Structure 1
Amino acid sequence: MTTTSAPATTGGARVRVQRFGTFLSGMIMPNIPALIAWGLLTALFIDVGWLPNEQLATIVGPFIHYLLPILIAYTGGHMIYQVRGGVVASIALMGVIGGSDYLIAQINAAALAANPDASELGQVHMFIGAMIMAPIAAYSMKWLDGLWDGKIRPGFEMLVNMFSAGIWGFVLLIIGFYPVAWAINGIMSLLSGAVGWLVDTNLLPLTSIIIEPAKVFFLNNAINHGVLTPLGIEQAAGESHKSILFLLEANPGPGVGLLLAFVVFGIGAARASAPGAAIIQFFGGIHEIYFPYALMKPTLIIALIAGGMTGVTTNMLMDSGLRAPAAPGSIIAVFAQTASDSYLGVALSVLLSAAVTFFVSMIILRSSRKKDLAAEAAGEDALGAALAANAANKGGESRVGSLLGTDSATSATASSGVATAAKLENIVFACDAGMGSSAMGASVLRNKLKKAGITDVSVKNLAIANLTDDIDLVITQKELTDRARQKTPNAQHVSVDNFMNSPKYDEVVNQVAAQHPTDQA
C-alpha cells in the first residue's frame, strides 16, 4: 500500500502548547457526559433546584469531590498506559484528595481556635490534581515495568504485575497526600485569587484579549481545560452553583457574529459558505468552522475580541453563569447548562457579543471590499488559503474544509493508492481526541460500505493515544499519520486531507468489496 504523509510538525512553542492542550482535552472531553450528569443533578435536586430532593442532593458533593476527579485521572492514565496506567493514576489521586481534605481541616481548626466566628474553607476539588498526577503515575508505572520486562520467571508474571502496581500506587498515594496535595492547594489558591482579583477589579473581560486569538490559533485547550474548567467547577460547587468562567471560551456569539457579517458583506466563496457555517457553529457547536474566516483577514480578530469582551461584561453585570461546562460550544449546550437565574443574562451575552462582533466585522469588511473584489477578479482564493492556514495552525487534522464543502487539497492525494493484499476487517479513523472529525469520517466510510453491501467490516473512531497494533487499516489526516504509525506499526495506513470527502474512501471500499465477494447482493 502507498500512503501519503506530510512530515511531522515538530518544534515551536505553538506546537508544544497545542500538544499540551490536546492532552488536557483528552482527559476532560471523554468525561463531559459525567459533568453534564452532575450539572443536571445540581439543577434538579439541590435546595434551590427545580425539584429539590434532600436525599438525592446528598450525591452532589461526593460526585464532584471524588467521582469526577477520579474519572479524569483514570482517563489520563489510560491515555498513557492503558488500564494499568489508569488504575495507578486513580490510586495516586486518592492520596491527593485525602491530603487536600486533611490540609483544609487543619486550616479550619486553627482558624476556629483563633476566632470561633471565623468562616471555614470549603473542600478543594482536585481536577488540577488529577491532570497533574495522572501522567506522573502512568509514566512512572510504565518506566518501572520496563525495568523488569522480560526478566520475570515464567509463572510469576501475574504476581509481579499485581504487586508492583499496588505497591507503586501506594507509594504515589503517600507522595500525593503530602507534598503534591499541599502544592496543588497552593496553585488553586493562587489561580482562584487571580480570577477573584479580575472579577473584583472588573477586568475579567480583558481575558478575551487572550482567549479569542488563542481559539483561532488552536491554543485555547490549554487555557480552557487547564485553568477555566477546573476553576469553573470549583466555583459551581459553591453557594451560587454557577460560574461565569464556563462562558469565557464557549460563548458562540462572537463566532456567529463574524459569520453573519460575511453573509451580508462578504464576497465570493466566503459569502456563499458563511450561512451554512453559521448554522454549524451556532447550533452544532463547532467553533473551528469560523477560524478560516478570521484568518482571511487577521484584523477580524479585533472584532472577535470586542464581541468576547462584550459577552463577558454582560455576564458580569447580570451575574450569570453556567452550572457545568458547555461542550461542544453550541447554543443548545449553553442553555442546557445555564443556571436557573441566568437565562436572561446568558441570552443577552450571546446576542450582544454577536451584535458587536458583527458591527466591527462589518467595518473591516467594507473598508477592504474594493481590494477584495479586485483580488477575487485576479483569481486569488482567499478562503482556500485561509483553510490551509487553519490546518497548519491546528498542526494537522481539520474538518472545516469538508464542512464548508471546500476540499482544495483533496486532489493532491488522489493519486496515492490504497491497494493491498491484506484483508481489511478492522478499520479505524484516528485523530487527537478520537471524537468529532474522526467520528464523522468513520460515519462516511461506514455508509459507503453499507451502500456497497458490505456489513462485516468494523469501522470505528479512536484517539491516536488509544490505537493498538491489532488494527488492519488506520485512516488519519496526513499530518497525523506518522504519530499513528508509531502506535500501530503493523497496520496499513491511509492519509487524507480531510475526513469528510476524500477519494481514498472509494478506493478502500473497492478493495474491501474485492476481498468480501460474498457480501455483495
Structure 2
Amino acid sequence: MKEKVQLFGRFLSGMVMPNIGAFIAWGLITALFIETGWCPNERFAEMVSPMSSMLLPLLIAYTGGEVVAGKRGGVVGTIATMGVIVGSDIPMFIGAMIVGPLAAWVIKKFDKAIESHIPAGFEMLINNFSLGILGAIMALLAMVGVTPLVTALNAAMSAGVGFFVDHGLLPLASVFIEPAKVLFLNNAINHGILSPMGIQQVKEVGKSIFFLLEANPGPGLGVLLAYCIAGKGNAKSSAPGAVIIHFFGGIHEIYFPYILMNPLLLIAVIAGGASGVFVFSLFDAGLTSAASPGSIIAILMMAERHSYVGILAGVAVAAAVSFLISLPLLKFMGKDTTLEEAEQKKNAMKQQAKGIKTDTKEKTEMQECTAGKIRKIAFACDAGMGSSAMGSTVLKKKIAAAGLEGIEVIHTPVSSIPADVQIVVTHQELGERAALSNPNAERILITNFLAAPEYDLLIEELIKRNH
C-alpha cells in the first residue's frame, strides 16, 4: 500500500516538479509588482493572472501528458486542458492534473488501435488529424464534464480548509504532513496538494501559508541538531553536514533516515511542525509561490514583503520545539542505534522474514555481481532532483578519487530509471520502486545519504570489475 501511495504521489508531483522554475518566475513577478508588492507596477502585474490561470496549468498538462504518451501525449493533454481553463474562473491546476494525463491516455490507446491499419504514405496525415480531432473533442468534454467536477471539488476543499483556518486548527495538518514526508511523500504533498490551494489563495490575498506547511525546514533542523549532541557513531558525525544541506540546500530527504532510525522522533517533528504553523498563522505570514527546494534561502526569496519576521519566527520556533523534544528522546528513551546498526538490523529482519539465517555483519544490498565492466550508475530519489543529485555528486567524487574512468553517474527519479543503468543507488524506503523501474539493475540500498558505508563498498567493487 505504501508503495502504491508513493507511486501515485510521485505521479502528481512529477507533473509539477519539472515546472518549478515557472512557478518561481510567477512568484517573483507577483511578489514584486502586485499592488502590495515591493515595486508595484500595474502594467507588469498584468502578467500575474494569465500566468497562474493559463501558463502554469498548461505546463502541468503538457508534462503529465508527456509522461503518459510522450510529446504527442503532451500536446493533446495541453489542448484538452484549454477546456477546463476556459470553463472556469479559478486556476485549474487540479483540472490540468486530471485532463492532461487522461487525454494522453486516450491518444495512446487510439494510436495502438490503428497502428497496423495506417496505409503507407498516410502516417503524417493520420497522426496530425487524429491528434487534432481527439484534442478538440477532449477539450469540449473537459469543458462541460470535468470543469464542474473540479470546481465542486475546489469548493469543498476551500470550505474544509476555511474551517480549519477559521477555527485555528491549521497546525493539526502537521499530524499528517510530517509522517508522510518521512515516507518520501513530501513532493506529492507540497506540489500535488498544497501548491494548487496556495496559488488560489495568492490570487485572492497576495500570499499563502500553504506554501510553508511542508517546506518549513524547522522540524528537520531540530532533529538534526539533537543528533549533533546526543547521536551515536556515524549518525552523530554526519549530522552537522546534514544540517547544512538540509537548512541551506533545502534537501529535506537527508533527515528522513535519522527519524526512521528512531520513529519516536516523529513526535518531535509533528510538534515542531504544528508550532511553526501556529506562529506563521499568528504573524499572518505567507509566500507568493512554492519554495523548492525547501531551503531557508528559497523560502525567504518567495516570502511576501510583510512576512519575513513571521517566517523566521516560525522556522525558529519549529526548530526549537523539535530539538527540545528530540534531545531527551535520543538520550533517555531506550538505546539509540547508529546508522550502521539500523542497516544491519533491517537486513537481519528481512532475511529472517524470508526464512534465511544470517548474521548482523555489515552487508550491502547490492545483488550478486554480473559479468562485465560498469559504465553507468544512477542515484535515484523520489523526484530525481534533490537527494539523488547530492548523492550522485558524492559518488562522482569518490569514483574520481579512486582513479576510475569511463563511469557515468546520473541522478534520476526512482520511477523512471533508464534501462541502460547497471547499478542503482537509492534509499532503502525506495528499493521496491527501484526494482520495478529497472529490474535488471543491481541495487544498493542506503540509509545515510552523506556517509553510507555502501559507497566505499561500491568503489571497491568497481575497482575489481573495471580493472
TM range (shorter): 0.7 to 0.9
Which residue matches 2:180? 214
2:364 to 412, 419, 438: 412
Task: Output the CA distance in 2 between the equivalents of 1:162 and 1:464.
Answer: 33
What is the CA deviation profile of residues 139-166 of structure 1, one whole-angstrom value per residue up to 9, with x for unaligned ones? 1211111111222121111111111111
2:91 to 104, 116, 125: 125
1:138 aligned to 2:104? Answer: yes
Task: Output the CA distance in 2 between the equivalents of 1:303 and 1:442.
Answer: 30
Specify the code of the residue in structure 2 equivalent to 1:51: C
Shift of residue 251 of structure 1? 0.6
Shift of residue 462 of structure 1? 3.9
Shift of residue 294 of structure 1? 2.3
Counterpart contact for 1:253–1:351, Cα < 8 Å? yes
What is the CA deviation profile of residues 173-215 of structure 1, one whole-angstrom value per residue up to 9, with x for unaligned ones? 0111111011101111111111111111111111111111222
Counterpart contact for 2:414–2:434, Cα < 8 Å? no
User: Which ranges in structure 2 are unaligned for 5 or more consecutive residues?
Assistant: 348-359
Q: Give 1:225-304 correspondences, 5 Å limit.
A: 225-238=191-204, 240-304=205-269
Task: Output the CA distance in 1 between the equivalents of 2:127 and 2:318.
Answer: 55
Matched positions, count: 445
1:166 aligned to 2:114? Answer: no
Which residue matches 2:86? 98
> Once structures 1 and 2 are overlaid, which stretch shifts more, 221-230 or 157-166?
221-230
Which residue matches 1:188? 154
Rg: which structure is higher? 1
Give the % identical residues: 47
1:357 to 304, 315, 322: 322
Which residue matches 2:270? 305
Task: Output the CA distance in 2 between the equivalents of 1:456 and 1:130.
Answer: 42
Shift of residue 365 of structure 1? 3.2
Which residue matches 1:105? none
Shift of residue 129 of structure 1? 0.8
Which residue matches 1:43? 31
Change in 2 beyond 3 A, CA 1:410/1:233: farther
Task: Output the CA distance in 2 between the equivalents of 1:304 and 1:440.
Answer: 23
Shift of residue 291 of structure 1? 2.2
Which residue matches 1:5? none
Relative contact order (C-alpha < 8 Å, sep 6+): which is higher?
A: 1
Change in 2 beyond 3 A, CA 1:152/1:429: farther
Specify the code of the residue in structure 2 equivalent to 1:38: W
Change in 2 beyond 3 A, CA 1:429/1:253: closer
RMSD: 3.1
Counterpart contact for 1:496–1:502, Cα < 8 Å? no
Shift of residue 468 of structure 1? 6.4
Task: Output the CA distance in 1 between the equivalents of 2:346 and 2:298.
Answer: 25
Task: Output the CA distance in 1 between the equivalents of 2:87 and 2:346.
Answer: 44
Task: Output the CA distance in 2 between the equivalents of 1:284 and 1:173.
Answer: 41
1:178 to 124, 144, 152: 144
Which residue matches 2:352? none
Specify the code of the residue in structure 2 equivalent to 1:299: L
Shift of residue 437 of structure 1? 3.8
Change in 2 beyond 3 A, CA 1:329/1:385: farther
Change in 2 beyond 3 A, CA 1:493/1:365: closer
Which residue matches 1:485? 438
**Normalised TM-score (structure 2):** 0.85
Change in 2 beyond 3 A, CA 1:438/1:351: closer
Shift of residue 73 of structure 1? 0.9
What is the CA deviation profile of residues 43-97 of structure 1, one whole-angstrom value per residue up to 9, with x for unaligned ones? 2222222222222221111111111111111111111111011111111110110
Which residue matches 1:64? 52
Task: Output the CA distance in 1 between the equivalents of 2:400 and 2:259.
Answer: 38
Counterpart contact for 2:23–2:289, Cα < 8 Å? yes
Change in 2 beyond 3 A, CA 1:186/1:26: same
